[in-house]
């Protein structure tokens, strides 16, 4: 065999349209299942879980003075949620 034939071993030709459709569908289902739907175990989405964890780390309990939403949103964004602040703020309020 020539060197050119050896380089193509294991590479399958595919139609780009079908591959894009399947890849997008797989990604969309993953996002819906892992982020958009609440978890069956506790009824929380990942953003809610991050907010509660950040509040716990800040020591926010009913007997402590209140904190502004911006403080909690800032902690969540800075430490646990690599997306925009709108999702975190909307989930809190």
| Tens digit of each residue's pLDDT (9 = 90 or more) over 6-55 | 566 788 888 999 999 999 999 999 988 888 888 888 999 888 999 999 99
Domain count, the chain: 1
Q: Is the pLDDT of residue 2 over 80?
A: no
Residue range of the domain that includes 69: 3-92
Alpha-carbon span 46 to 23, nearest angstrom: 23
* Tokens matching residue 53: 């964890």
Cβ atoms within 10 Å of 88's Cβ, excluding its own: 24
Alpha-carbon span 70 to 85, nearest angstrom: 10
CA angle 44, 77, 74 (to 5 degrees): 110
Which is more confidently placed, 71 or 8? Answer: 71
- Enter the pTM of the model: 0.66
């Amino acid at each position: 065999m020539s060197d050119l034939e050896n380089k193509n071993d294991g590479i399958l030709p595919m139609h780009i349209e079908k591959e894009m459709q399947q890849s997008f569908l797989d990604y969309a289902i993953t996002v819906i299942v892992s982020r958009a739907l609440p978890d069956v175990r506790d009824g929380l989405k990942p953003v809610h879980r991050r907010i509660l964890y950040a509040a716990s780390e800040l020591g926010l309990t009913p007997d402590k003075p209140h904190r502004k939403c911006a403080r909690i949103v800032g902690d969540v964004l800075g430490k646990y949620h690599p997306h925009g602040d709108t999702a975190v703020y909307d989930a809190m309020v």
